[in-house]
Structures are given as structure tokens and as C-alpha cells.
Amino acid sequence: MEYIQLLGGLLLLLISANYLVKGGVSLAERLKISPLVIGMTVIAFGTSAPEFIVSLSAAMQGNSEIALGNVIGSNIANIGLILGVTALILPLPVQKESIKNDGPMMLLASVLFILAGMSGLISRLEGCIGFGLMMLYTVWMVRSSRKVSKKAAADAAQAGASDAKDQEQKPQLSPLVAGVYIVGASAGLAFGADLLINSATEIALAFGVSQKIIGVTIVSFGTSLPELAASVTAAFKKQSDISIGNVIGSNLFNILGVIGFSAMIQPITTDFELFKSDFIWMLAFALLVLIFIYPTRKNIAAYMLNNKRPSLFLNLTGGVLGRASGVVLILLYVGYIWLLF
């Protein structure tokens, strides 16, 4: 029976991910915002639904190890496994916004999460602060993206692009259909992940595996499967912004949204010593992906050719998460899982 659930869950994840990406791209075109922002918001929130459900339920039942392990393990899996596999399949060009704003925000959220966990209790106030930060950053992203789109359209018109409207790509779906795709696909991803989590957890419990190990491995991997499906699907569709945005946005939502909202409902006790190494791994992965997407080679070349001006290293355009980086991320994730056992 567990194998039937496994196959059914995987199939549902793949189908749902395809419709989620399709609906998200169309919505981005309709709202005149970038696919990166859609990946950071709509798709990231949709693929993080399993983490939200699992962690909220665990926190309310007093299973703080599952709640924390799920989020920490999911964030590690999102970068080490999801971005690693996606980059291995197809190198991912990275926009300046991801290097300048989104990546550092993910790193900041990780640091705040660790600081909150060190006290032994993530309080309602800390939950409110985290959830509020997520809402403010989301609003700022959407408004900034719309301003950039309007400016680009104005520049094109001023440059005499009379046929700009004719060349503009028309949305594939109506707003209603895109919304139905996104909501339905998000539900499908959550249900598909749930099928996998339940069967895997039952097997693990039968072998006497601890709650912490289940939380940071089986549950976190299962709840990260929607991100994997969506990111790989987006990569194959040449929507690399969605792949990057989905992972960074999911990690932000997991910390500020999932933990924040869960702590608002029920303060979360934290055994920091138990999760200390996992917190360090989570922070290390967040920092490492920032290093990987920074255009180091391009800036060093410019530095050597232009009178060795240090200011050249502030150029954040042209970043790429390549296959070599993907291999490193996957190997580190495998090493992390190996050390757990």
C-alpha cells in the first residue's frame, strides 16, 4: 500500500507542478510583474503549503521537534537538493535582484531564526515580528517589480517602439483560469506530498527512528518535494527566475511565515542544543548559495582589465548557478544526511 501511495504522490506532484508554473507565468504577465517575484510569492507560498500544514499542526500538538525539524530540514533540502538538482539539469541565470535583495533577506531570516531559537522559546511576539517582516517584504517586492515594468514600458515608448504592444507577449490564460491553476495545483502539491510523508513516516517509526530525525529528513524532504517538482519543471520550461525565486521565497516563507504564524498561534519551545548543528547547516547553505550566485569570475576579469578598481566588485549582474555549484550543493546535502545517521 505504501508503494502505491508513493507512486500516486509522485505523479500528482509532477502534474500539479506543471500547472502551478503555467498559472504563475501567466499571472506574472497579467500583473506586469517579473516571473522572479511570482516565484518568490505565489509559487513559493503554494509549494510551502505542506511545510505550513505540518509545522502548524505539530506546534499546536506540542511536537516542537517536528515543527522545527521540518522547517530547518526543508530549508536545507531546498538549497542543497532542489537548487542542486535543478542547476545540475540546467545552469540557472540569476537576476541582480536575487543577489542584491532576496538572497541577503533569506540569510537575514536564517540568522533571526537562530537567534530566536537560542532563547529556548519562540514567543508570540517574535512570531508576529517574523510574519510582519514577510508581509512587508512581499508588498515591497511586488511594488518594486511593477515600478520596473512601468519604467521599461515607458522607456520603450520613448525610444519609439511603436510596435511594442504588438511584440509584447500576451498572457496564455485569463486571470480566473490562472488563479484556478495556481490554487488547484497548490492543493495537488500539498496532497501529493502528504501521501509521501505519511507512508515514509510510518516506515521510519516502525524502525524506531526519532522525531528529530524524521522531522529533518523524511518530513522535510517530503514537504520539499513540491519545490523540487516546481523548480525542475520551471527549469525545463526555461523559467530560471521561477526556479531561483521558488527556493528563496520558500525558505523565507518557511522561517518568517510558517514558524512566525505557528508561534503566533502557539509559542514554540526550542531545544537549541539538539538542533544546533542543523541550524549551522541551514545558515551555511544560505550563505553558500549567495557565494555561488555572485558573478565572481566576471567581476575579477573586469577588475583586472579596468585599472583594478575595487568598485567593480559591486556589479551584481550576470550571476549564474552552474552545474559545478549544483554538484557541490548535492554532495553537501548528502553529507548532511549521512552525518545525521
Identify the sign of the CA torsion 330, 188, 131, 39. positive
pLDDT at 165: 45
Q: Backbone dihedral region of 51: left (phi > 0), alpha (psi from -120 to 50 degrees) or beta? A: alpha
Q: Is the pLDDT assigned to residue 23 strictly greater than 90?
A: no
Between 50 and 39, the higher pLDDT residue: 39
Q: What is the pLDDT of residue 164?
A: 44
305 versus 44: the higher-pLDDT residue is 44
pTM: 0.80
Question: Closest Cα partner for 43 from 58, 26, 16, 24?
Answer: 24
CA pair distance 51, 32, nearest whole angstrom: 29
Phi, psi of 295 (to 5 degrees): -75, 70
pLDDT digits (tens, 9 = 90+) for 223-275: 677 777 778 878 887 777 778 888 888 899 889 998 999 899 888 888 899 88
pLDDT of residue 215: 61
Q: Average pLDDT for residues 36-52, to the nearest whole number?
A: 77
Amino acid 162: pLDDT: 46
Backbone angles phi, psi at 237, to 5 degrees: -90, 10
* Residue percentage of the chain with pLDDT more than 90: 23
Phi, psi of 161 (to 5 degrees): -80, 80
Confidence of residue 324 (pLDDT cuts 50, 70, 90): very high
DSSP three-state, residue 270: coil
The pLDDT value given to residue 67: 80
pLDDT of residue 169: 53
Q: What angle do CA 108, 186, 132 make, to 5 degrees?
A: 30
Residue 331 has pLDDT above 90, yes or no: yes
- pLDDT band with cut points at 50, 70 and 90 for residue 326: very high
Q: For residue range 126-176, list pLDDT tens digits in order.
A: 999 999 999 999 889 888 877 876 766 666 666 655 444 444 455 567 778
Per-residue model confidence (pLDDT) at position 298: 77
* 324: Cα separation from own chain's centroid: 20
**Which of 19-28, 209-218, 284-293 has the least mean pLDDT?**
209-218
- Kindly state the average pLDDT of the residues 39-44: 80
Average pLDDT, the chain: 79
Mean pLDDT of the 52-65 span? 75
User: What's residue 112's pLDDT?
Assistant: 94
Residue 31 CB contacts under 8 Å (≥ 6 apart), including other chains: 146
How many of the other CB atoms lie within 10 Å of CB of 256?
A: 27
pLDDT tens track for 176-186:
887 888 788 77
**Assigned CATH for 2-141+175-340:** 1.20.1420.30
Which of the two residues, 274 and 341, has the higher pLDDT score?
274
Which regions of 258-322 does DSSP assign to beta strands (E)? 268-269, 319-321
Question: What's the pLDDT at 44?
Answer: 81
Burial of residue 171, with CB atoms counted within 10 A of its CB: 0-12 exposed, 13-18 middle, 19 or more buried: middle
Q: Which residues contact 87 (CB under 8 A, 6 or more apart)?
A: 321, 322, 323, 325, 326, 329
